[in-house]
Amino acid sequence: MAYTDYIFEGYRKRLAELRESTNPFADGIAWTGGDYMPVHEATVPLLDNGFMKSDLAYDVPAVWDGRYFRLDDHIERFERSCAKLRLTCPIPREELRHRLIEMVARSGIRDAYVMMIVTRGLRYLRQYAPEECENRCYLMVTPFLWVIDEELQKTGASAIIARDVRRVPPGAMDPTVKNLQWGDFTRALLEARDRGCSYALLTDGDRNLAEGSGFNVVLVKDGRLFTPARGVLEGVTRKSVLLAADRLGIPWEITDVPVSAAYDCDEMMFVTTAGGVMPVTTLDGEKVGDGSVGPVTQALWKAYWDQHYDPEASFAVSYE
Ligand SMILES: *Cc1c(COP(=O)(O)O)cnc(C)c1O
């Protein structure tokens, strides 16, 4: 039995039920300012600067087994991201929260990937002050997405450290704003493809690790966790993992992590809402540690998924 079975078996069952569902929103539901609609029918106006200039902020919480996980952490980070870009969500927080819950309930999706986006809107900043721009809000709920799928989580994924591109520096794009200026990540993904895998870690260009396309990295060395301090989004999953580490008595540091530490660690994980704690067992074609999913990763993996049933961190959606 794989260490992942206890959580993935239930998920598989719920997914099979969802596929049988006749709910018109079972493939996903969207809100762009009017009525709810199936996600595949939702569109963005061509002239929205969110599309034209990636002038937007977003966030992604998830629902697991019918329970929202750390929704308020995501909404709070979303509001901080918006504030840093001088964006304002056009609907108040209470309405945003209510819609995010209502959309999950209407769709019947038990394991959901949830996205909230605020864009600058149709007016361009060269001609208008930020307060003259009518910012737009887009919401969607789809079935859960896996950065590293369940099968691969049993054995661990293969990744590279990108050589051709570095993470955008904090002085160019503030990495603590969850944003979709993915030029660096896209280049790294192309390099990963060329080098025979699907995952890339980016450095800060000064010999430290940063992060990958939508995930933070955590290394294990001699029973201690290390995760980069700078040039990264402050991930909610990372926070959950460090909280779990506290409870398990595993020491950790948010610090500068030199690239060399990645080649010298015992275990490596990529961590994100869209997939949780995901083991990486091959780096640049070489084994990470002994090449298996290590004991610290397995313990944190279980603790992370257990938190999804903890009322301190999650609440049930009422689907009626
Ligand atoms: C979303 C994201 C993460 C992970 O954040 P979580 O809150 O754990 O989902 C890490 N890095 C980047 C660049 C991201 O966009």
Query: pLDDT tens, 177-203?
Result: 999 999 999 999 999 999 999 999 999
Average pLDDT over residues 62-83: 98
Ligand 1 centroid, distance to 22 Cα (angstroms): 33
Measured CA to CA, the distance from residue 8 to residue 12 in angstroms comes to 6
Average pLDDT over residues 37-66: 98
Q: Which domains does the chain have, with CATH numbers?
A: 5-143 (3.30.470.10), 150-308 (3.20.10.10)
| pLDDT value of position 18 | 98
Residue 274 confidence (pLDDT) above 90: yes
Q: Which residue in the block uniquely carries the two structure tokens 């009525």?
A: 35
- Per-residue pLDDT band at 41 (split at 50, 70, 90): very high
Residue 1 confidence (pLDDT) above 80: no
Ligand 1 centroid, distance to 221 Cα (angstroms): 23
Average pLDDT over residues 15-24: 98
| pLDDT value of position 320 | 79
Ligand 1 centroid, distance to 278 Cα (angstroms): 13
Measured CA to CA, the distance from residue 45 to residue 69 in angstroms comes to 31
- Per-residue pLDDT band at 72 (split at 50, 70, 90): very high
- Residue whose CA lies nearest to ligand 1 atom number 13: 214
Residue 84's SS3 state is: helix
- Residue whose CA lies nearest to ligand 1 atom number 6: 235
Query: Hey, which of 69, 233, 239 would you mutate to test ligand 1's pocket, going by the most ligand atoms within 8 Å of its Cβ?
Result: 233
Query: Hey, which of 68, 117, 211 would you mutate to test ligand 1's pocket, going by the most ligand atoms within 8 Å of its Cβ?
Result: 211
Q: Which residues line ligand 1 (CB under 6 A)?
A: 60, 178, 211, 214-216, 233, 235-238, 272-273
Record the tokens describing residue 13, joined without a space. 């069952």
Q: Name every residue whose Cβ is closer than 8 Å to that of residue 152 and which is 6 or more positions away in sequence.
A: 278
Average pLDDT over residues 103-125: 98
DSSP string, 155-207: H-EEEEE-SS--PPPTTTS-TTS-----HHHHHHHHHHHHTT-SEEEEE-SSS
| pLDDT value of position 6 | 86
- Per-residue pLDDT band at 99 (split at 50, 70, 90): very high
What distance lies between CA 304 and its chain's CA centroid?
A: 14
What pTM does this model have? 0.97
- Residue whose CA lies nearest to ligand 1 atom number 12: 214
Query: Hey, which of 178, 201, 236, 278 would you mutate to test ligand 1's pocket, going by the most ligand atoms within 8 Å of its Cβ?
Result: 178
| pLDDT value of position 42 | 98
What are the pLDDT digits (tens) for 194-238?
999 999 999 999 999 999 999 999 999 999 999 999 999 999 999
Average pLDDT over residues 159-186: 97
Measured CA to CA, the distance from residue 215 to residue 281 in angstroms comes to 16
Which value, to the nearest 10 degrees, does the dihedral of the CA atoms of residues 187, 116, 18, 305 take?
Answer: 80
Residue 2 confidence (pLDDT) above 90: no
Please state, for a pLDDT cut of 90, what percent of the chain lies above it.
98
Ligand 1 centroid, distance to 195 Cα (angstroms): 24
Atom of ligand 1 nearest to the CA of 236: 7
Please state, for a pLDDT cut of 70, what percent of the chain lies above it.
100
Average pLDDT over residues 242-246: 98
Q: Name every residue whose Cβ is closer than 8 Å to that of residue 51 and which is 6 or more positions away in sequence.
A: 44, 45, 119
Residue 305, exposed/middle/buried by CB under 10 A (0-12, 13-18, 19+)? buried
Atom of ligand 1 nearest to the CA of 185: 13
